[in-house]
Amino acid sequence: MTSRQMILGMQFSGGYGAEPGAWRLPGANLNSYTDMDQFVRYAQSAERGKVQLLFIADTPVLDMDLTHHAPRQAIDPMLLLTVLARETKRIGLVTTASTTFNEPYNLARQFKALDVISHGRAGWNAVTTSDPAAAANFGSPVPPRAEKYERAHEVIQIVQGLWGSWEKDALLLDVENKRYADMGKIQPVNLQGRHVASRGPLPIPPSAQGQPVIFQAGGGSYGLEIAGRYASGVYANPYTIEDARAQRQALRDAAKRAGRDPDEVKMLAGFMPTIAPSRQAALERRRFLDEVVDLDQRVRYLGAMIGLPLGPGQLDRPLTADQLADAVPSPHDPRSARALEVAREGWTLRDVIAHGVIDYHPVVAGTAADVADHMQQWFEAAACDGFSIALDGFHDGFDAFVDQVIPILQERGLFHKEYEGPTLRENLGAHEQYGLDPRVSQQDRS
């Protein structure tokens, strides 16, 4: 039994699953994109498994061709999480919102409202937004990176300032003395930055966890600094254990530089499991999902990954002995070594691709035990503090993960058997914070 246990977050996307072809899976509810009952069922399944949080990635743009693929984004993450807040009791509710294309007052108000509505289970993944098509929806280009991140610091600090604009005991509810609140404890914040400003206070009292938890995702050295200073959880996208360990160390160092304890920041590694009764069945499921994928383009990309000029004509054949002798993993794509390893096992190129070697997170297509083994290996190698799970298809994936994978992790002592408490902070092991972290604001004044 290990004492350190993993944090699990389940990703919610457009409603069908992480794979663009998930909407076609036999048994899937074709209306999942807009059917709130369906989302509630998935959230309740994850909560049955004691999963710490649900996470909705988001970019405010329709950035895909819907001819064959279902939408990647939720119709509106805040509204969806508000629905889920009413139908769940313990699971954390985290979504992305842009620091570039939102005003801090709106962010502070909406997330704190969600935090109060959910009794202390809200989290904000603060991202700067890098997609020009998303920027176009707000009538402006993506600002230069340095400016974008300067604004991000200001926005997060103002949001946290506003969250703290009611002291913890400001709400009196004293009927006898006719005092609803203590206005001496509800104060403006008067924060003025170069890009944004807010007077405050917010019209919202503290939640059961005080205020929402900050998350962060990606973004090189600028992103690391945001994570190190403000985040309790970080979404990362490593492909190998070595890569993950390096990312986690960089994150821990960034937290230390900000004057924080590195254990306060939990790195969740993205992971895409396909769970089936056998490896063969898992591969068949992924071949079906790949029917809506542009495989010609993927074969060419696979070729670039392993240094061979591959074309669609070879889709249903494995690499020849000569090709295998010439193949070299590309140093530019961290997925390449795994792609070549799978190709060396003699699979056809269609099946190499079905193993998920070109997906945006590491993929394990196999049994529940295969999935648990991968998670155990990464976790015990200190490659992450937990996982952000992107299930290929939700309609059967949530129950498969909860009923088959989680019991194995629990049996191995790797995952908790009960929620630590009613709030997201308690379940993440996130430190108490109300308003700005004094360690961070202290730094700003120096």
Residues annotated within the binding site for FMN are 58, 96, 149
Token output for 69? 């693929």
Closest CB to ligand FMN among 120 and 223?
A: 223
Contact at 8 Å (CB) between 6 and 389? Answer: no
Q: At its nearest, how many Å lie between ligand FMN and the CB of residue 152?
A: 9
Residues in binding contact with ligand FMN, number by CB under 6 A? 19
Question: Phi and psi (nearest 5°) for 151?
Answer: -65, -40
Nearest Cα residue to 374 out of 258, 251, 240: 240
| Residues in 113-152 that interact with ligand FMN by CB under 6 A | 127-130, 145
Shortest distance, CB of residue 221 to ligand FMN, whole angstroms?
9
Q: Does 363 interact with ligand FMN (rule: CB under 6 A)?
A: no
In the bound complex, which residue of the shown chain has the CB atom lying closest to ligand FMN?
A: 218
Distance CA 397, CA 273 (A): 9
- Residue whose CB is less far from ligand FMN, 335 or 350: 335
Could you list the residues known to form a binding site, using ranges.
Answer: 58, 96, 149
Choose between 144 and 184: whose C-beta lies nearer to ligand FMN: 144
Among 77, 92, 161, 270, binds ligand FMN (CB under 6 A): 270
Site string for ligand FMN, 160-199 (x = CB under 6 A): ----------------------------------------
Contact status, residue 308 vs residue 326, Cβ threshold 8 Å:
yes
What residues form DSSP beta bridges with 9? Answer: 53, 388
Nearest to ligand FMN of 85, 272 (CB atom): 272
Is-contact 441 140, C-beta < 8 A? no
Q: Which of 59, 88, 118, 423 binds ligand FMN (CB under 6 A)?
A: 59
Q: What are the C-alpha distances in Å from 162 to residues 81, 190, 203, 404, 436? A: 21, 9, 10, 43, 9
Nearer to ligand FMN, 134 or 276 (CB): 134
Task: Pick between residue 46 and residue 268 the one whose CB is nearest to ligand FMN.
Answer: 268
The CA radius of gyration of the chain, in Å to the nearest whole number, is 23
Q: How far apart are CA 252 and CA 254, in angstroms?
A: 5
Query: Given the complex with ligand FMN, which of 129 and 433 has the nearer CB atom?
Result: 129
Contacts of 250 by beta carbon, 8 Å cutoff, 6+ apart: 224
- Whichever of 53 and 340 has its CB closer to ligand FMN, that residue is 53
Shortest approach of ligand FMN to residue 144 CB, angstroms? 10
Q: Report, in Å, the least distance between residue 293 CB and ligand FMN.
A: 21
Cα gap 366→277, rounded to integer Å? 7
- DSSP β-bridge partners for residue 126: 97
Within residues 19-58, the interface with ligand FMN by CB under 6 A covers: 57-58
Quick note: the x/- pattern for ligand FMN over 68-97, rule CB under 6 A, is: ----------------------------x-
Rounded to an integer, what distance in angstroms lies between the CA atom of residue 356 and that of residue 346? 16
Binding mask 197-236 for ligand FMN (x = CB under 6 A): --------------------xxxx-xx-----------xx
What are residue 225's phi and psi, to 5 degrees?
Answer: -65, -40
- Least distance from ligand FMN to the Cβ atom of residue 58, Å: 5
Q: What's the rounded Cα separation, in Å, for the pair 384 and 420?
A: 20
CB 382 within 8 A of CB 245: yes
Q: Does 16 bind ligand FMN (CB under 6 A)?
A: no
Longest C-alpha distance within the chain, in Å? 88
Would you say 5 or 96 has its CB closer to ligand FMN? 96
* Helix segments in 290-367, DSSP class H: 295-306, 321-326, 336-344, 349-354
Closest CA to 217 of 360, 18, 397, 371: 360
In the complex, minimum distance from the CB of residue 222 to ligand FMN, in angstroms, rounded to a whole number: 5
- Candidates 342, 340, 311; CA nearest to 327 is 340
The distance of closest approach from Cβ of residue 407 to ligand FMN in the complex, given in angstroms and rounded to an integer, is 27
Q: Which residues bind ligand FMN (CB under 6 A)?
A: 57-59, 96, 127-130, 145, 217-220, 222-223, 235-237, 270
